[in-house]
């Protein structure tokens, strides 16, 4: 029985070496797969970063264009408001002049009536 045990020691050692070799190759394969996965993740991250930069650039361009359009519309609205203000002021001045003329006409009529009454 002792002899059988002695024979089992080299077999166990060979089995341990074989398992260790399998473990090493499995570890190396796992490392290679992990490295490949890391490379793929890095490439995906770079693509995502590039897409983000492109989207940000497009958004910035659209924002600048919208701001320029808003500035043009605001300037045009300001010009229309200024023209409307000038027109309203001219209308008010004309109405004031017409009212003054009407008041003067009535004052002249009243003065003429007063002279007629005094005669």
Place of tokens 């497009």: 58
How many CA atoms within 13 Å lie on the side-chain side of 61? 6
Tell me, yes or no, if the pTM score tops 0.75. no
Question: pLDDT tens for residues 60-112?
Answer: 999 999 999 999 999 999 999 999 999 999 999 999 999 999 999 999 998 88
Identify the three-state secondary structure at position 97: helix
C-alpha–C-alpha distance, residues 47 and 97, integer Å: 74
Question: pLDDT tens for residues 14-30?
Answer: 656 566 655 556 667 76
DSSP for 18-73, written as a single string? HHHHHHHHHHHHHHHHHHHHHHHHHHHHHHHHHHHHHHHHHHHHHHHHHHHHHHHH
Question: pLDDT tens for residues 25-54?
Answer: 666 776 778 788 888 888 888 999 999 999
Cα 83 to chain centroid, rounded: 35
Q: Determine the pLDDT at residue 7.
A: 52
């Amino acid at each position: 029985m002792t002899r059988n045990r002695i024979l089992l020691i080299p077999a166990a050692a060979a089995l341990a070496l074989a398992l260790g070799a399998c473990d090493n190759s499995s570890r190396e394969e796992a490392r290679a797969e992990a490295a490949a996965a890391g490379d793929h993740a890095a490439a995906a991250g770079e693509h995502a970063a590039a897409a983000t930069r492109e989207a940000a650039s497009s958004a910035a361009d659209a924002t600048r264009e919208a701001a320029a359009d808003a500035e043009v519309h605001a300037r045009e609205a300001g010009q229309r408001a200024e023209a409307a203000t000038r027109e309203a002021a001219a209308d008010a001045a004309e109405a004031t002049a017409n009212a003054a003329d009407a008041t003067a006409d009535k004052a002249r009529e009243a003065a003429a009536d007063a002279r007629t009454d005094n005669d």
